[in-house]
Amino acid sequence: MSRDPASPARFAVGIDLGTTHCALSVVDVEASDGEDVAITAEPIPQTVSPGEVQTLPLLPSFVYLPHANELEPGATALPWSATPAQLVGELARARGAQTPTRLVSSAKSWLCHPGADRRAPILPPGAPEDVACISPLDASVFYLRHLRAAFDDARPDTPLHTQDVTITVPASFDPAARELTAEAARLAGIEQFTLLEEPQAAVYSWIASQAKWRDALHVNDVLLVVDVGGGTTDLSLIAVRDREGDLELHRVAVGEHILLGGDNMDLALAHVVKAKLAAEGKRLDLWQLRALTYACRVAKETLLAADDDGRDAVDAVPIVVPSRGSKLIGGSLRTELTLDEVRQVILEGFVPVVDAGARPATRARGALTELGLPYAQDAAVTRHLAAFLGRQVDATAGLEDFDSAQPEGATYLHPTAVLFNGGVLKAPALASRLLEVLGGWAEAEGGEPPRLLEGADLDRAVARGAAYYGYVRAGGGVRIRGGLAQSYYVGVESAMPAVPGLEPPVTALCVAPFGMEEGTEAAPAPHPLGLVVGEPVRFRFFGSPTRRDDEVGVTLEDWSDDELIELGAIEATLPEDGHARGEVVPVLLRSAVTEVGTLELTALPVSGDGKREWKVSLDVRDKG
């Protein structure tokens, strides 16, 4: 982004806009020199209980919409505002746990849900009538506003809008979700920012923390980044190649958006314990189930903390669900969670040993499903991983200056190195199970098991890496190249005589090629599309994570479900000026990737003077 070179930003700020938590990290550019970088986590003041403000390392990504009589005026006062317009953070999370109908959570997952109108007040789903609902976009704006205010309050001389900000998004975010994140940042008053994929941020954080990272990562390595967060699992592949004597990192593939994470594991354990209590004739209400889920998370961390040598091993952890009333003794329920149960539920349920040909089970969804988040239907992370690596078997085949040591006849892309991210993978049992499965796949095809990149900070890596990225972006240093992780296509209905009962066949026209880099523009696709003047016209929109060689203008007649994935529709409206309403005007579509990291599609009239152009909206309101 352009910036006055006379007054460079003092700080490179990384914002991890997470599904369950947000974090803020800062690089003091003036105090950093070369690879000696001063990165600090920025604590975030927030309301923790009515009238109490505490500075915590993370901001829980929750908005609570209180009833008018619920909180005293001033109970949510913050250091920078006596009456903040929204309640976000720890108190929002805690209140919402007791009153879920007023709680907005997982807004980020809604942001990339193409079936929902992401600008419409749809959250929380099923709220009572008196709740003033908000949109997924609003929620992101609220979190970013809070982070911005916290930063400005701590550093009034260097407000955030004058600093270099990097905001992370899941690698699996589609163009519309990235665009919405960028819009949220602008609405929150953040001006100079770039978007960065979370797995890449994890790699940057690892690089920043390892003085000798070049000894751990080699030319021709294929690095698999596995990021298991609270609510989502994000996968990326990064190739390491030699460019003019230095290592260059190239992100070659990203996985699908998988709504599966640590919270699912805690809930699964809670249900096991609940069933155990039910067998003893003890029933739990919703409040107790939440307390139980929390207790299960703590127990899970204790039970899975043992390393391969059996250090820190325990066989069972007592679980106590406190009574709700003031009678604590006698009213509390006591049981225990055993290592066997945790291994059965977590290891066998979420990271089972499967072979490389395994694929996630999918259930056919009902035609009219209730509007909700598309949670992963198969809880096995290893099966999602197998599907990803299998789909990406040729991901490095066409890459220049790269010679990966793939075994003969490999059925999936063999990674040679693995980097973990996300607090869930701090548990040695989970991490070693994932490595064991990857190693088993490699051996079955005569390959080498991948090695683990040590020393990653699994909790804070994303915000740290984002701040580091902002720093290297301004000053040089190692960069991960990537560009678009998919090629994009517009669906064009072919002109043919109508056949009753058959939908007209659709061809897919490539409008943006794979790997297109930030700050570049592609030539318009040479096939004109007809737009009706004065009316919004929609096109089907597709992405392909595997068709790497399609150039702009390529048309596909048919494709497999795995090859092209339908995204939300795109929409263009041509204003009436110079044309009659209802007239069909042929336009060309041109794509560009902005410096911020978002895809932009522009409609150019074929017969125009070249000056008129209209933006094509990637985020279309769904009217059901």
Partner 1 sequence: MANSNPSIFARFFLAIAAYFRVLFDGDFAASVVKLRAGALPADASPGAASERGVPPEPPSAPEPRVERAPADAAMQLLGLLQREGRFIDFLREDVSAYPDADIGAAARVVHEGCKRAIDEHFTLEPVRAEAEGSRVTLDRGFDARAIQLTGQVAGEPPFTGTLQHRGWRVREAKLPKLTETHDVTVLAPAEVEL
DSSP secondary structure letter of residue 305: T
Choose among 256, 264, 252: nearest CA to 300. Answer: 264
- 320 — phi, psi (to 5°)? -120, 125
585, 605 in Cβ contact below 8 A? yes
Nearest to partner 1 of 74, 578 (CB atom)? 74
Comparing C-alpha atoms, which of 197, 201, 202 is closest to residue 254?
197
Query: Quick one: how far is CA 97 from the chain centroid?
Result: 23
Q: Tell me how far apart the alpha carbons of residues 486 and 484 are, in angstroms, rounded to a whole number.
A: 5
Question: In whole angstroms, how close is the CB of 329 to partner 1 at the nearest point?
Answer: 4
* Length of the chain as a residue count: 624
Q: How far is the CB of 79 from partner 1 (least distance, A)?
A: 7
- Relative to beta strand 555-556, strand 536-544 is unpaired
Nearer to partner 1, 48 or 268 (CB): 48
What gap in Å lies between CA 319 and CA 301, rounded to an integer?
13
CB nearer to partner 1: pick between 74 and 504: 74
Q: Tokens in use for 406?
A: 């793939």
Contact pattern for partner 1 over residues 274 through 303, marking x by CB under 8 A: ------------------------x-----
Window 427-446: residues binding partner 1 (CB under 8 A): none
**Minimum CB distance to partner 1, residue 286 (Å):** 10
Q: What is the DSSP letter of 515?
A: T
By beta-carbon proximity to partner 1, the closer residue of 131 and 474 is 131
355 is a site residue for partner 1 (CB under 8 A)? no
Decide: 106 and 86 in contact? Cβ < 8 Å: no
Strands (E) in 412-564, as ranges, are 417-421, 451-452, 480-481, 487-493, 506-512, 520-521, 529-532, 536-544, 555-556
Q: Which is nearer to partner 1, 2 or 326 (CB)?
A: 326
**Least distance from partner 1 to the Cβ atom of residue 99, Å:** 9
* H-type alpha helices, 27-103: 90-98
Which residue has tokens 């529709």? 569
**Cβ of residue 54: shortest distance to partner 1, in angstroms?**
4
Give the footprint of partner 1 on residues 43-102 (CB under 8 A): 48-55, 72-75, 77, 79
* Least gap, CB of 282 to partner 1 (angstroms): 13
What is each CA distance from 417 to 14, 219, 224, 399, 448, in whole angstroms? Answer: 26, 11, 6, 18, 10
For partner 1, give the closer residue by CB, 64 or 469: 64
| For partner 1, the closer CB: 75 or 347 | 75
Residues 482-521 that bind partner 1 (CB under 8 A): none
Whole-angstrom CA distances from 526 to 353, 554, 585, 614 are 49, 9, 15, 17
Size, binding site for partner 1 by CB under 8 A: 27
Which CB, 318 or 530, lies closer to partner 1?
318
Q: Cα–chain-centroid distance for residue 224?
A: 16
Residue 75 or 267 having the CB closest to partner 1: 75
- Residue 324 vs residues 98, 332, 481: alpha-carbon distances, Å: 12, 8, 53
Smallest distance from the beta carbon of 24 to partner 1, in angstroms?
19
CB of 326 to partner 1, least distance (A): 5
The residue among 48 and 474 lying less far from partner 1, judged by its C-beta, is 48
User: Minimum distance between the CB of residue 300 and partner 1, rounded to whole angstroms?
Assistant: 15
Closest distance of CB 598 from partner 1, Å: 39
Given the DSSP bridges, would you call strands 451-452 and 520-521 parallel, antiparallel or unpaired?
A: unpaired
Q: Which is nearer to partner 1, 49 or 377 (CB)?
A: 49
For the bound state, the minimum distance from the C-beta of residue 332 to partner 1, rounded and expressed in Å, comes to 5
Nearest to 237 by CA among 395, 441, 436: 395
* Distance separating alpha carbons of residues 296 and 315, to the nearest angstrom: 14
Residue 288 C-beta: closest distance to partner 1, Å: 12
Question: In the bound complex, what is the minimum distance in angstroms from residue 310's beta carbon to partner 1?
Answer: 25
Q: 302-341 mask for partner 1 (x: CB under 8 A)?
A: ----------------x-x-x-x-xxxxx-xxx-------
Amino acid occupying residue 256: E
Q: Which is nearer to partner 1, 96 or 605 (CB)?
A: 96
For residues 53 and 268, which CB has a smaller minimum distance to partner 1 in the complex?
Answer: 53
d(CA 124, CA 104): 5
Work out the angle at residue 541's Cα, subtended by the Cα atoms of residues 486 and 512, and round it to the nearest 5 degrees. 40
In 3D, which of 253, 105, 585, 202 has the Cα closest to residue 425? 202
**Alpha carbons 46 and 58: distance in angstroms, whole number:** 10
Using CB under 8 A as the criterion, which residues of the chain lie in contact with partner 1 when the complex forms? 48-55, 72-75, 77, 79, 298, 318, 320, 322, 324, 326-330, 332-334
